[in-house]
Amino acid sequence: MDGTTYDLIVTMIVLMLFAYLSRELEVMRAISEIEGYLALFKQSRDTAFQALLRSLGRFSSLDRKMVEEKASQLIEIAVIFPVNLDPYGIVEKIRHVLRVEEKEVEEEVSSIASRGNRVDVQNLTNLVEAVRALNYLYKLVNHYYLIARKFKSLWLILQLNALLPFLSEEFKALEGAVKAFKNGLPIGDSAGPYVAAKLARILGAKRRYEPVPDTEVFYAEMGGRRIYLAKAKGPGGTVGRLDEALEWITGRDDVSLIVSVDAALKLEGEETGLISHGFGVAMGGVGVERFRIEEIATKKKIPLYAVLIKMSEWEASSIMGEKVYKAADKAVEVVKQVLEHKVKPGTAAVVLGVGNTIGVP
């Protein structure tokens, strides 16, 4: 072997070594990034839990340890969705499970925070839900991270790494929610109920009903039109039962239009506060209520009109921003115009202010 061959072999080996090293470095970078995010997620979860403890403690006559114990139980609650192998009638089943969970958690919260009033309990229940979501999300990410490490799987690590930006959006949104619920301040999602409440005030609502729990219906007249405005009953954090309220309204009066107003997720690059029109029911969540509303509307052939206020996920669940507020104010006028143009005098229409009514009485 002469010198040239020897050099060639060495060069090849060095090149291969570099290729190997660069991949290892890439994995190490991905892992360290995941670990960095995980540490932040954990911290975010812990901070939120401490905030929950403080909030619960303020209204509780139990001692600190007891509160902590009960709170940690609350944030570990799981909701098991019904089997969907045979989807017939599944919506009612989901509604049943959710209603039971909602009631039980609220009762548990009110037993811990025994000195708080109804509004406090509702806000605390919302807070519990946000912390629970944070807790679950953190554990899930941690689970995938540990699995990826356990099997030393490059692809699992890279997949998790690629998901991090989306996950941190989620965490940001929940962190914002914790801050808002803790103080009982309106969030971006409250834009829907805000529009309904404001409209009720502008139109000089004559009557106010509470046909179903946590939900209120205002009756107003506008140029000979009978307008029913339904929203969750504030200022405690709740989304109410708009489907049942609508059922009640359609049972009383002949409705010729249903307008739903809700915060809608904007696409990245879209302006916050953009108001767009649509057909159908503007409503998030699991879809149980939307299903009912669509069913009622279809059965009675009532047109469904939607007014959407665009915002990001973070804006929807954090304290209402100025842009969202201004958009909601504008949406009040938009809904008014829709009612003027699409509802003939002498007929009735329903406006649904969809969303969490926290901070909006």
Partner 1 sequence: MGENIVGSLKKKWLPVYGVLAAATGVLLVGLMYLYAKTGANDYSMAAMVDSLFLLYILWSIYKLAKLEFKPRKVVTLVRCEKCGYSEERDYARGDYLFKVKGQCPKCGAPLLVAGIYVKEAGEEEPDFTPLPLPTGLATFITTFSGLKRGD
β-pairing, 348-353 vs 255-265, is: parallel
Contacting residue, 61, 114, 183, 337, with partner 1 by CB under 8 A: 183
Query: Toward partner 1, which CB reaches closer, 48 or 94?
Result: 48
Largest CA distance in the chain: 103
Q: Which two tokens stand for residue 329?
A: 């104010």
Q: Which two tokens stand for residue 270?
A: 């879209």
In this structure, which long-range contacts are made by residues 127-131, counting pairs with CB atoms below 8 Å and at least 24 apart in sequence? 127/51, 127/52, 127/55, 127/178, 127/181, 127/182, 128/52, 128/71, 128/74, 128/75, 129/105, 130/48, 130/174, 130/177, 130/178, 130/181, 130/317, 131/45, 131/48, 131/49, 131/51, 131/52, 131/75, 131/178
Contacting residue, 220, 264, 324, 350, with partner 1 by CB under 8 A: 324
CB of residue 294 vs partner 1: minimum separation in angstroms?
30
In order, the DSSP letters of 187-198 are BGGGHHHHHHHH
Q: How many CB atoms lie within 10 A of CB 327?
A: 23
CB of residue 178 vs partner 1: minimum separation in angstroms?
9
Contacting residue, 17, 28, 146, 265, with partner 1 by CB under 8 A: 28
Residues that bind partner 1 (rule: CB under 8 A) add up to a total of 42
Contacting residue, 37, 49, 219, 305, with partner 1 by CB under 8 A: 37
323 part of the interface to partner 1, by CB under 8 A: yes
Which position has the token pair 């060639």? 8
**How many angstroms separate the Cα of 343 from the Cα of each of 79, 235, 255?**
41, 30, 10
Distance CA 169, CA 128 (A): 20
12 part of the interface to partner 1, by CB under 8 A: no
Q: Which two tokens stand for residue 283?
A: 């409503």
Gyration radius of the chain's alpha carbons: 26
265 part of the interface to partner 1, by CB under 8 A: no
Contacting residue, 280, 345, 346, 361, with partner 1 by CB under 8 A: 361
117 part of the interface to partner 1, by CB under 8 A: no
CB of residue 272 vs partner 1: minimum separation in angstroms?
9
Query: Toward partner 1, which CB reaches closer, 238 or 312?
Result: 312
Contacting residue, 23, 29, 143, 208, with partner 1 by CB under 8 A: 29
Stretch that binds partner 1, among 28-36, 152-160, 290-298, 330-338 (CB under 8 A): 28-36
359 part of the interface to partner 1, by CB under 8 A: yes
CB of residue 187 vs partner 1: minimum separation in angstroms?
10
Q: Which two tokens stand for residue 340?
A: 């003027």
Contacting residue, 47, 142, 153, 347, with partner 1 by CB under 8 A: 47
β-pairing, 215-222 vs 207-209, is: antiparallel
Contacting residue, 77, 139, 325, 347, with partner 1 by CB under 8 A: 325
**Full 3-state SS string of 255-295:** EEEEEEEEEEECCCCCCCCCEEEEECCCCCCCCHHHHHHHH
Interface with partner 1 in residues 190-229 (CB under 8 A): 194, 197, 201
Query: Toward partner 1, which CB reaches closer, 284 or 359?
Result: 359
Distance CA 356, CA 320 (A): 12
CB of residue 305 vs partner 1: minimum separation in angstroms?
25
Stretch that binds partner 1, among 39-47, 75-83, 101-109, 281-289 (CB under 8 A): 39-47
Interface with partner 1 in residues 283-322 (CB under 8 A): 312, 314-315, 318-322
The three-point CA angle 84-99-312 to 5° equals 80
Contact footprint for partner 1 (CB under 8 A) = 28-29, 32-33, 35-37, 39-40, 42-44, 47, 51, 168, 171-172, 179, 182-183, 185-186, 194, 197, 201, 234-235, 312, 314-315, 318-325, 329, 359-361
